[in-house]
Amino acid sequence: MFNFGRARSQGRQNRSMSLGGLDYADPKKKNNYLGKILLTASLTALCIFMLKQSPTFNTPSVFSRHEPGVTHVLVTGGAGYIGSHAALRLLKESYRVTIVDNLSRGNLGAVKILQELFPEPGRLQFIYADLGDAKAVNKIFTENAFDAVMHFAAVAYVGESTQFPLKYYHNITSNTLVVLETMAAHGVKTLIYSSTCATYGEPDTMPITEETPQVPINPYGKAKKMAEDIILDFSKNSNMAVMILRYFNVIGSDPEGRLGEAPRPELREHGRISGACFDAARGIMPGLQIKGTDYKTADGTCVRDYIDVTDLVDAHVKALQKAKPRKVGIYNVGTGKGSSVKEFVEACKKATGVEIKIDYLPRRAGDYAEVYSDPSKIRKELNWTAKHTNLKESLETAWRWQKLHRNGYGLTSSVSVY
Ligand SMILES: O=c1ccn([C@@H]2O[C@H](COP(=O)(O)OP(=O)(O)O[C@H]3OC[C@@H](O)[C@H](O)[C@H]3O)[C@@H](O)[C@H]2O)c(=O)[nH]1
């Protein structure tokens, strides 16, 4: 694990070690030492220069104290697709944001864009850390005064979860435990948790309400359900304000084309339908594979409820504003409308203007035939409703980003910790 804060303290240690070892008795050595001092001084200057370029350098004291009227939100996974869009929205709304990300799935490029948009001291800082490292997380909470946590960071591919279940159980449950324990230890009182429709599995009746029994059928959904249970049990004897948002299938991009979805190329085989469509439209892949055509749905392909990322982050801001101590709110975040994979691909062809070649494959492990939400609870209680319900229009915003960023976020997107 590396973070800029640690680099600074290590820099201090190294400096004192080199000065502590000076011995001026030998004139030859003295020249050596002068050389070393000059080298150390220039390296230190270089380090400081580089750190000043990094977002973490901006006035840590501002981040370490509560300020009346300023809500400081820790966004875990803020370098990822949804987390970065949430950070952008929070920053636009004048929240103070700290992003923690291990860059295993997220992109430093997304953080850099946010940093360029909000360069003022005290707005945004980035800390490179892994939530599995409880000591590092504790240090982050010690050095920062958070008012709320939005916990996005997680591995999140259904197919991958069936292949590497332990990775999913570990990452999703134990990291949530670390976040909760550290929040409790430091008195941070509000949690907005990213859950998923995958916790419902394959219910008998549609649409899915928050009362629909949760019977997940893949490790991703099961691990998210476990994390929800951990949070719910903890909240029974705590005065924490908790909001659990169960997302349906997230698509789209920042309409101004600054942020987008940049999945790891090496994870393409597990990738979501949106990424697969765009890869095919851009000719990076020879075509799109539709995985499963024999489901009991109108056209035989799976049905999902596609929610625009800008609507999703709007739900987060509303959840944050309405969160109350000792209360738990659980909400579906979807449009209430189901679309089949075939319909999705047709919309993608229209949005991109590309005639995507399609191969039909057998079912993917872990998939359920049909899920779509009943979003009436969130509409009633949080006054939230999806504004973007046209698949093609959401895909157009994503396609715009894809065209502007042919290499995703560039070199930074290949930084990997796992
Ligand atoms: O290349 C592909 C990818 C996906 N698909 C199909 O498209 C449908 C949607 O699959 P995706 O992987 O995009 O999304 P999923 O429904 O599996 O899960 C998604 O939604 C819920 C979120 O919480 C999860 O994080 C997210 O992965 C499935 O039927 C899948 O089999 C393909 O046919 N081809």
Residue 340 C-alpha to ligand 1 middle, in angstroms? Answer: 11
Which amino acid is residue 260, in one-letter code? G
For ligand 1, whether the C-beta of 223 sits within 6 Å is no
CA distance 414 to 270: 17
Q: Which of 202, 217, 245, 272 to mutate to test the pocket of ligand 1 (most atoms within 8 A of CB)?
A: 272
CA distance 404 to 128: 26
Residue 95 C-alpha to ligand 1 middle, in angstroms? Answer: 32
For ligand 1, whether the C-beta of 118 sits within 6 Å is no
What radius of gyration do the chain's Cα atoms show? Answer: 23
250 phi, psi to nearest 5 deg: -90, 135
Nearest CA, atom 11, ligand 1:
272
DSSP, collapsed to helix, strand or coil, labels residue 299 as coil
Q: Which residue has the tokens 């999806």?
A: 386
Residue 343 C-alpha to ligand 1 middle, in angstroms? Answer: 14
The pLDDT assigned to 50 comes to: 58
Nearest CA, atom 20, ligand 1:
249
Cα–Cα separations (whole angstroms), residue 407 to 68, 109, 411? 42, 11, 8
Nearest CA, atom 30, ligand 1:
291
**pLDDT tens-place string over residues 320-370:** 999 999 999 999 999 999 999 999 999 999 999 999 999 999 999 999 999
CA distance 70 to 76: 19
Q: Which of 202, 250, 304, 343 to mutate to test the pocket of ligand 1 (most atoms within 8 A of CB)?
A: 304
CA distance 45 to 50: 9
Token digits of residue 157: 């591919």
The pLDDT assigned to 13 comes to: 31
CA distance 282 to 268: 14
CA distance 62 to 30: 42
Nearest CA, atom 15, ligand 1:
158
DSSP state of 172: I
DSSP state of 373: B
The pLDDT assigned to 34 comes to: 66
The pLDDT assigned to 294 comes to: 98
For ligand 1, whether the C-beta of 194 sits within 6 Å is no
Residue 330 C-alpha to ligand 1 middle, in angstroms? Answer: 23
Residue 53 C-alpha to ligand 1 middle, in angstroms? Answer: 38
Provide, rounded to the nearest whole percent, the portion of the chain with pLDDT above 90. Answer: 81
Q: Which of 152, 155, 157, 158 to mutate to test the pocket of ligand 1 (most atoms within 8 A of CB)?
A: 158
Residue 272 C-alpha to ligand 1 middle, in angstroms? Answer: 5
Nearest CA, atom 12, ligand 1:
272
Nearest CA, atom 31, ligand 1:
291
Largest CA distance in the chain: 88
Low-confidence ranges of the chain (pLDDT < 50): 1-27, 55, 57-58, 411-418
For ligand 1, whether the C-beta of 292 sits within 6 Å is yes
The pLDDT assigned to 337 comes to: 98
For ligand 1, whether the C-beta of 251 sits within 6 Å is no
Which residues are marked as active site? 220
Nearest CA, atom 19, ligand 1:
249
Q: Do 295 and 369 meet the contact criterion of CB atoms below 8 Å apart?
A: yes
Residue 273 C-alpha to ligand 1 middle, in angstroms? Answer: 5
DSSP state of 200: G
For ligand 1, whether the C-beta of 285 sits within 6 Å is no
